[in-house]
Amino acid sequence: MATCDGSEARAALERSVLRRVPPLLTDLYQFTMAYAYWRAGRHNEPAVFELFFRDNPFGGGFSLFAGLSDCLLFLQNFAFSDDDVEYLRSVLPAGTDAAFFSYLKELDCSAVSVSAVPEGSVVFARVPLLEVCGPLAVVQLLETSLLCLVNYASLVCSNAARFRLAAGPRRRLMEMGLRRAQGPDGGLTASRYTYIGGFDLTSNALAGRLFGIPVAGTMAHSYVTSFSSLEEVWPQTLVPCGGGGPIDFICLVKGWLGRVCQLLGSKTSLVREGELAAFLSYAIAYPQNFLPVIDSYSVSCSGLLCFCAVALALCELQYQPLGVRLDSGDLCRQSLEVRRVFKECNKQFSVPQFESLIIVGTNSISEQSLAELNKKVSNEIDVVGVGTHLVTCTRQPSLGCVYKLIEVRGRPRMKMSEDPEKSTLPGRKSVYRLLDTDVLPLFLSLFVVVII
């Protein structure tokens, strides 16, 4: 895995956040309110906002808080460029006092302070995640950007935690949702915060570079189906891992294919030559990283046989193949059959390397299907790859975080509403987690409202 060193990684991360969340990434009405505060001479009044969500996501009992580090980077670098101010001059009402734009040019968050629960913490509905204190106009301008940074990050992190609980502690989880995410930023955010939520790997190369997340991946079905003949395999030789002259790898694999088919009672005539060629070509390119997808045509009639033949040839040359990926059909049933064949090969051909081969399962995995998979004692899947249902949070599209004013000039403020659920609790709050003598929570959470 290639990663940046500490200083380079932080600089790359900071550039990423600044590109994705400049100060103009907010709603226009934040500027009209800031102007009205400024016009009335109230813009520097001390004010406090809190950010929270009203209901636990996915019908569950908890969430994970995420996005804090991005919020802090955003605040540390908050400043409007001359171009930003000129754009605002063009879109705000014509009667806006020109001096307001000079005020915006000098604006930063040096007078803003933030209190927060630690990133990655288990949190609950209506408990303040962030408390933002500072000049009224400034903390008002921060609302949309902070919500944008926390809402999806916390939601996808919580979703990842639910997948981890459904999978249990043994199986490794790989996030592979970039192609299904809501745009590049959604994909990058998902990769980062699913890792915090309990996933082990990502397919996202940029996330690996920026955040140091372990990356993994080998081939897609398109690679397999691009081959049709052994004549397309080049080079056709492979040097043994321990050194020596090049070996005719095609000839070696053909010999092993015949022995595997004889062992399993399979017909070599049903093996797809293009699939065998694809596996050969990839194994020659990456003999230490051989983990193909084996369901492009038929797992039992072709894909598994081709894998075993190539893997046995690699073992003969002292390489260690990694395993296989299943991407369709009944993953549990197929995993059992694949493991049985691995054991048969080990027993017949004395290849202990086959004992450590892994089976990766992918195929539109949801939290429910993962929980059902985990309940089945008889399955041999070691790694589960999850994409669509993880990064798009199909069961709930938004966490619904809100950012509400709770104090101005030291006096509590409360929102009343026609909808009681939208009413807010006034005043600053302290958040507690009460534990018993066994360090187990007595209550999920407790917060105290302090009204002066």
The tens digit of pLDDT for each residue in 153-168 reads 999 999 999 999 999 9
Averaged confidence pLDDT in the chain: 93
Tokens for 158?
């919580």
pLDDT in tens, 202-245: 999 999 999 999 999 989 999 999 999 999 999 999 999 999 99
- 221-321+323-356: same fold as 6-166+395-451? no
Q: Please give the Cα distance from 234 to 189 (Å, whole number).
A: 39
3-state DSSP assignment of residue 287: coil
Q: Please give the Cα distance from 218 to 327 (Å, whole number).
A: 13
pTM of the prediction? 0.92
Check if CATH label 3.50.50.60 holds for domain 6-166+395-451: no
Q: Please give the Cα distance from 8 to 230 (Å, whole number).
A: 45
What residues contact residue 40 under an 8 Å CB cut-off, 6+ apart? none
3-state helix, strand, coil in the chain (%, to 5): 45, 15, 40
pLDDT of the residue at 3: 47
Residue 451 has pLDDT above 50, yes or no: no
Each residue of 318-331: b (16+ CB within 10 Å) or e?
Answer: ebebbbbbbbeeeb
Specify the CATH class of 221-321+323-356 in words.
alpha beta
Q: Please give the Cα distance from 441 to 445 (Å, whole number).
A: 8
Burial of 80 (0-12, 13-18, 19+ CB in 10 A): buried
The sign of the torsion formed by the CA atoms of 377, 379, 381, 387 equals negative
- One-character DSSP codes across 376-406: -SS----EEEE-HHHHTTTT-S---EEEEEE
Domain ranges of the chain: 6-166+395-451, 221-321+323-356
pLDDT of the residue at 407: 97
What residues contact residue 37 under an 8 Å CB cut-off, 6+ apart? 43, 45, 136, 137, 140
